[in-house]
Structure 1
Amino acid sequence: MAKEIKIPQISEGVDTATISEILVSKGDKIKKDQAVIAVETDKASTEIPSAFSGTVKEIKVSEGDEVSVGDVIIILEEASEENKDSGDEKEKKEEKKEETSEEKEKKKTKDKEKKETSEEKKEGEERSADQEDVDESKDESKDEDKDEEKKKPSKKSEKDKSEDKKSLKEVYASPGVRRLARELGINIQKIEGSGDSGRITEKDVKNYKEGGGKKSGPAQPELPDFSKWGAVETKPLNNIKKITAKNVLQSWQSIPHVFQFGEADISGIETYIEDHKEKVEEAGGKLSLTAILTKVVATALHKFPMFNASIDMDKEEMILKKYVNINIAVATDEGLLVPVIKNADQKSIKDLSVEISEIAQKARDQKLSNEDMEGGNFSISNLGGIGGTNFTPIVYHPQVAILGVSRASIKPVYIDDNFEPRSILPLSLSYDHRLIDGADGASFMNWMVKALEDPYEALLG
């Protein structure tokens, strides 16, 4: 009997991916849990395993295709079923297995109840409810246009139905928001969400209603025809750049940024790195300024818990996190990736050096897992290896702060009635002004500078 391999829920909040590689061919015999395709999301590259053993009968996707959770990618002929039954026996089995429409409805209801216990599968239930919204909207318009439909009957093609289903999967809204849209007579599919991952909020629905049915959110300005002035080349954005563009736009629009600058004398730290780098290299890592900054920031987040938080404006509350996970920005050929160092406060500088070296290499090799990318509380972006004096990084939603680091330079510093050449590191702190005041930002930066210049004094202070 043929079995379908479908795209599973890849990770929380991720419902679409791009096929990056097909790992099997038609006619191949595969085992259960064997990887059959590789997909790329905004977070990582992931291999999708087969839920069954059998022979590949049909491959329904191609490299570069965008797929959603639940899409069929491969059809298998199960090994256990091949040449097992005669035609009559198969028919009898199929009759026994065949469910009535009533049984199917009961099964769907049970599945929904199970889904309510799993946050990761909640999106599927919401999209099903969105289908009801679309159906209600169609029923209302059907009565109004009944006469016209009689004159011009039309049927949706299978392609149109497929496109409708695809668009439904892109709608994210809570049951309360969907109910509000129904009460206001609004087709929720037409609203652009401003929440995390494009989620539609109650405010989006109200803004859409107040705007007379116009799309919420700013429109993309129309581009001119650049070819009028010279030769051009068009290249599609890869998946990482597409998601990054959406995320930074959302962060910039939703977070009121404030920027704080500072300079730290890291002459002592550079000496420390030089004295201990061989010991760290023996352990398999590279002793870097980023590793030291990660340890210093981890300590700072305990002293300034507001920077280790998130803000929920809908509930008007803050979420203070008791764990310290720090994102480290890594530049790759495909774009910017920001993997997470978990429990950074519980690790030594040597351990952090090894882990940062390993995860940065995984990022460059596109081998990050979903777990490597999730759960960060605060970000560090170090551009010192590239150059520059200062920059203002964008806060990574739903975090509330990010530290930017530029290249250190030698500057004369007045010490004990004399100018001395010292290595000065420029620091840039971006933070969410809804939660963090200017005084908090300045205090955090001052503590960071003191900790880099004299760690013992900072820890005692």
Structure 2
Amino acid sequence: MVEVKLHDIGEGMTEGEIIQYFINVGDRVKDDQPLVEVQTDKMTAELPSPAAGVVKEIIVRPGENVSVGTTLLTIESDQLLQFDPPMKTNQKRPQTIDTTILNKGKIILAAPYTRKIARDLGVNIEEVEGTGPAGRILDEDVLRHVNKKKPQITSAEPTEAVQSGEDVTIPFKGRRKQIAAKMTKSLYTIPHVTHFEEADVTNLLQLTKNLKQEGNYISVAAFFIKAVQLTLKEFPVFNAVLDEENEVIRLKKNYNIGVAVDSEQGLVVPVIHNVENKTIKEINTKMKFLIKKSQENNLTRNDITDGTFTISNVGPLGSIAATPIINYPETALIAFHKAKKRPTVVNDEIVIRSMMNLSMSFDHRVADGARAVAFTNRFVQLIENPSRMLVELM
């Protein structure tokens, strides 16, 4: 009997939620055939069959959260079978993306976590009106639908209070719970120190504006990522992982920059690998591609692994400061906040410049404050004077 267990399908994964099975007990499966869809804190993935045979038992039911190493189902492999049951001719593999096609031809767009909220609240997701892009159903759409369905209690007596009904609850499990576990581990394992700095991004904003007019749509964030990589090259201690067991700090040879993305399923950090070998334009293209995959919940294991440093560009949301939690087991994370025009002294004169705050959290076991200050000073030099960055790339 072959046991199919939940294995680590993502860096640092400890548990996952079973979303759906593509097979039933008694079905014949082929080697490497997708068996079950699992959601972790970062992605949704399929687990393939380790052998050909017949499904004998499904142990863990959809909706349950289980730890890595848990047996999900068992398969009697062909080596043990005395006969060859015929495959069901009418069996079709369910959809593995977050789109359900109904018999009426209607397409329902909803993330797995949103569907889970609907199931837990007893809501038929087909009845929910989506307000997201292309009619996608959001978490709040499900909650709004629940509130609409609640009976409105009124009273014939003016003096009686109108009952407000029960509180609506959101399940704290699946990706949300896994994100919480990872953040807790990072905060209680790493002694965080956050260094704050400001940068004049006037020249950089003008450069991106000029490029846009020429037909080159390159995000400011792409310049940030390249500037981070160039700065890490000078300060490799921040592109490192602390290996306490072997009592060494491992300086990573590649610069794999993670980009924090706020998706409907929660915070995810897709990684742009080998930034040192990419142009700013290539970084921009890859970044947009990964953000799109994040928002569509289509990230693969390769998209989220082997990060060496993380950035969080929260400026577009309006942030002015933060104390970011490091993406364990990395050594540092830098957050970029809202760029705002304000009076600034330049050459003893008060001028209006676009100023941006940044926050850098780092592991105080690995680096000291002086190195963090030197790091941010160098980074600021590069983005305040984009021409210096171009010189570095020659």
The equivalent residue for 1:23 is 22
Shift of the 357–72 alpha-carbon distance from structure 1 to 2, 3 Å rule, reads: same
User: Which of 314, 319, 324 is residue 250 of structure 2 equivalent to?
Assistant: 319
Q: Deviations along 1:404-429, whole A, 9 cap, x unmatched?
A: 11110011233456433221111111
Q: Deviations along 1:308-362, whole A, 9 cap, x unmatched?
A: 1222345443222221111110101121111211111211111111111111121
Give the letter aligned to residue 298 of structure 2.
K
User: Which of 305, 316, 339 is residue 408 of structure 1 equivalent to?
Assistant: 339
SS at structure 1 position matched to 2:281: helix
TM-score w.r.t. structure 1 length?
0.61
Task: Decide which structure has the larger Cα Rg and report it.
Answer: 1
The equivalent residue for 1:335 is 266
The equivalent residue for 2:188 is 253
Q: CA RMSD in A?
A: 3.0
How far has the Cα of 1:233 moved from its partner? 3.8
Q: Deviations along 1:20-52, whole A, 9 cap, x unmatched?
A: 122234555543222121111233211011233
SS at structure 1 position matched to 2:321: coil
Give the letter aligned to residue 236 of structure 1.
P
Identify unmatched segments of 5+ residues in structure 2: 86-164
Superposition pairs for residues 353-432 of structure 1, below 5 Å?
Answer: 353-415=284-346, 418-432=349-363
Q: Deviations along 1:167-197, whole A, 9 cap, x unmatched?
A: xxxxxxxxxxxxxxxxxxxxxxxxxxxxxxx
- Distance in 1, matches of 2:10 and 2:81, equals 32
The equivalent residue for 2:200 is 265
- Distance in 2, matches of 1:72 and 1:333, equals 27
Shift of the 427–3 alpha-carbon distance from structure 1 to 2, 3 Å rule, reads: closer
- Distance in 2, matches of 1:248 and 1:453, equals 32
More helix, by proportion = 1
SS at structure 2 position matched to 1:372: helix
Question: Do 1:3 and 1:76's aligned partners in 2 also have CA atoms closer than 8 Å?
Answer: yes
The equivalent residue for 2:175 is 240
Give the letter aligned to residue 185 of structure 2.
Q
Question: Do 1:30 and 1:56's aligned partners in 2 also have CA atoms closer than 8 Å?
Answer: yes
- Distance in 2, matches of 1:265 and 1:307, equals 23
Shift of the 43–316 alpha-carbon distance from structure 1 to 2, 3 Å rule, reads: same
Question: Do 2:204 and 2:385's aligned partners in 1 also have CA atoms closer than 8 Å?
Answer: no
SS at structure 2 position matched to 1:421: strand
Shift of the 280–435 alpha-carbon distance from structure 1 to 2, 3 Å rule, reads: farther
The equivalent residue for 2:275 is 344
Question: Do 1:40 and 1:46's aligned partners in 2 also have CA atoms closer than 8 Å?
Answer: yes
Shift of the 279–375 alpha-carbon distance from structure 1 to 2, 3 Å rule, reads: farther
Give the letter aligned to residue 69 of structure 1.
G
SS at structure 2 position matched to 1:298: helix
How far has the Cα of 1:249 moved from its partner? 1.9
Shift of the 292–80 alpha-carbon distance from structure 1 to 2, 3 Å rule, reads: same
Superposition pairs for residues 127-142 of structure 1, below 5 Å?
Answer: none
Question: Do 2:237 and 2:251's aligned partners in 1 also have CA atoms closer than 8 Å?
Answer: yes
Identify unmatched segments of 5+ residues in structure 1: 86-229
Question: Do 1:332 and 1:363's aligned partners in 2 also have CA atoms closer than 8 Å?
Answer: yes
Question: Do 2:15 and 2:178's aligned partners in 1 also have CA atoms closer than 8 Å?
Answer: no
How far has the Cα of 1:258 moved from its partner? 2.0
- Distance in 1, matches of 2:179 and 2:84, equals 51
Give the letter aligned to residue 260 of structure 1.
H
Superposition pairs for residues 72-91 of structure 1, below 5 Å?
Answer: 72-75=72-75, 78=78, 81=81, 83=83
How far has the Cα of 1:447 moved from its partner? 0.9
The equivalent residue for 1:302 is 233
Shift of the 440–320 alpha-carbon distance from structure 1 to 2, 3 Å rule, reads: same
How far has the Cα of 1:82 moved from its partner? 6.4
Shift of the 331–292 alpha-carbon distance from structure 1 to 2, 3 Å rule, reads: same
Question: Do 2:37 and 2:44's aligned partners in 1 also have CA atoms closer than 8 Å?
Answer: yes
Give the letter aligned to residue 372 of structure 1.
D
Question: Do 2:65 and 2:174's aligned partners in 1 also have CA atoms closer than 8 Å?
Answer: no
Give the letter aligned to residue 356 of structure 1.
M
The equivalent residue for 2:38 is 39
- Distance in 1, matches of 2:285 and 2:369, equals 35
- Distance in 2, matches of 1:264 and 1:343, equals 26
Give the letter aligned to residue 60 of structure 1.
I
The equivalent residue for 2:379 is 448
Give the letter aligned to residue 274 of structure 2.
N
- Distance in 2, matches of 1:306 and 1:255, equals 15
How far has the Cα of 1:65 moved from its partner? 2.0
Question: Do 1:5 and 1:76's aligned partners in 2 also have CA atoms closer than 8 Å?
Answer: no
Shift of the 389–4 alpha-carbon distance from structure 1 to 2, 3 Å rule, reads: closer
- Distance in 2, matches of 1:251 and 1:280, equals 42
